[in-house]
Amino acid sequence: MLSFLALGITVSSCKKNEEDEEELVEATFSAHTQVQVPIVLKETGELCPPCGSWGWTAWEGVISSVQGKTFLWSQYSDYFVSNSHFVNQELDPANSVNNAFQKNFPYGGSKPLFYINGAEATSSSVSAVETAVNVSIASTPVDVSASYKIEWDGDNLTVTAQAKLYNNMSGNYFMGVYLVEDKATGTQSGHPSSSASLEHHMVMRGSVGGNIWGEEIIAASASAGDMIEKTFTQAVPSSYIKDNLTVGVIIWRKNGTKYFYKQAASNQTGH
C-alpha cells in the first residue's frame, strides 16, 4: 500500500472544557520559510493505457519519494486521451484549471508526463524526478514565501494566503489557491482494475475562488519586507471527501500570456 501524508485540511479542532462544552480552536497561518516548495504534477488521462500501467506505478513512487517537500497533483486535461470525467467535476468546469495548466506549460505531446515547476522532467523515472526536486530546492534562490490559513464553515472553504518578500521584486505576480483530492474515483485505461470506482491519486479539483491564476499581488514592483495577503472563498461540492482534500498556494510570475511558477506552499508539506 502506498503511504500518503495525512491529507485532512481542517485546521480547527474541538476540545471539552470542564463544563463538557466544545471550544473552537482558531485557525492559524502556516509558517513562512525561506525554502522553495516545488510543484510536481503528472499530466495524465483516463483513456491513456500507459498512464494506468507504468505511469500509475511511477506516480505512486514519485508521490512517496517527494511528499512532504512539494505540492503534488495529477492533471486531467481535456486534451488527448481524456474522457473529461475529472474536468467535469472541477470547482468550475467552464474555467478548467486542468486545461489551463496543460496549455500554459510546454507540452511534450504524449502522456504520461511528469513536470517539475512547470517544466517537463528529463526522465519519467522516480529517481530522476526526486533528484530534480532536490536540486531545485537546494539551488533556487527564494525571493518570496507563501503561507496560508484554512477555515471551513460546513462545505464553504476560506483560505487566507500570504506572500512574504525577502528581496525587492519587479514584474507582474499572481497568487492562486488550488484544491487537490486524493482517492477521487473514476475509471483508468491500462490499470489492472476495471472498476469505475478506482481511486486516483492527487486529482486537481480547481482554483479556490474561481480565478485560474488567482489574484494579482504585484503589478510592477514590491519591496523586501512587504507582506501581501489575499482571501479566497469557495463552496466545495459535497461529493468531494473532505478528509482527502489538500490545499496548495502558488505564486506565479506573469510574462506576456504565460504564467511561470515562482513559489508554493501546501498542507501536503506543512508549509
pLDDT (tens digit per residue) in 30-87: 999 999 999 999 999 999 999 999 999 999 999 999 999 999 999 999 887 888 999 9
Residue 5, domain member (yes or no): no
pLDDT number for residue 241: 97
With 50 as the cut, is the pLDDT of residue 104 above it? yes
| Count of the separate structural domains present in the chain | 1
Residue 92, domain member (yes or no): yes
Q: The CATH number of the domain where 33 resides is what?
A: 2.60.40.10
The residue segments making up the domain with residue 68 are 26-266
Residue 14, domain member (yes or no): no
Residue 145, domain member (yes or no): yes
Residue 73, domain member (yes or no): yes
Average pLDDT across the chain, whole number:
90
pLDDT number for residue 24: 54
pTM of the predicted protein model: 0.90
What DSSP line would sit under the chain, residue for residue? Answer: -PPPPP-------EEE-TTS-EEEPPP-PPPP-SS---EEEEE--TT-HHHHTHHHHHHHHHHHHHTTSSEEEEE--SSSS--STTGGGSSSGGG-HHHHHHHHSPP-SSSSEEEETTEE-S--SHHHHHHHHHHHHHH---SEEEEEEEEEETTEEEEEEEEEESS-EESEEEEEEEEEETTEEE--TTSS---TTEEESSEEEEETTS-TT-EEEESSEE-TT-EEEEEEEEEPPTTS-GGGEEEEEEEEEEETTEEEEEEEEETTTT-
With 90 as the cut, is the pLDDT of residue 16 above it? no
With 90 as the cut, is the pLDDT of residue 255 above it? yes
Residue 20, domain member (yes or no): no
Residue 39, domain member (yes or no): yes
pLDDT number for residue 271: 60
Residue 94, domain member (yes or no): yes
pLDDT digits (tens, 9 = 90+) for 72-94: 999 999 887 888 999 999 999 99
